[in-house]
Amino acid sequence: METLYLLVPMSLILVVLIAGALWWALHAGQYDDLDRPGEAILLDNDKPQEPERRH
């Protein structure tokens, strides 16, 4: 029973921290565009660049 007095408040604090992190991520725009960064590598220019010539 004594351990519950420690574990319940600790778990509630952890839940509040996780909920706060999720709220921040949603309002900071972390989940605005999930498709574009993943597709950006597929749309990359595959043409190799010519090396610079030094004289």
In order of 7, 8, 11, 29, 45, the CA distances from 1 in angstroms are 10, 11, 15, 43, 63
Q: What is the mean pLDDT of each run of 10 residues along the chain (55 residues)?
A: 95 98 92 74 69 72
Quick one: pLDDT at residue 43? 72
pTM of the model: 0.58
Phi-psi region of 44 (alpha: psi -120 to 50; beta: other; left: phi over 0): beta
Interacting residues of 22 by C-beta distance below 8 A, sequence separation 6+: none
Interacting residues of 31 by C-beta distance below 8 A, sequence separation 6+: 25
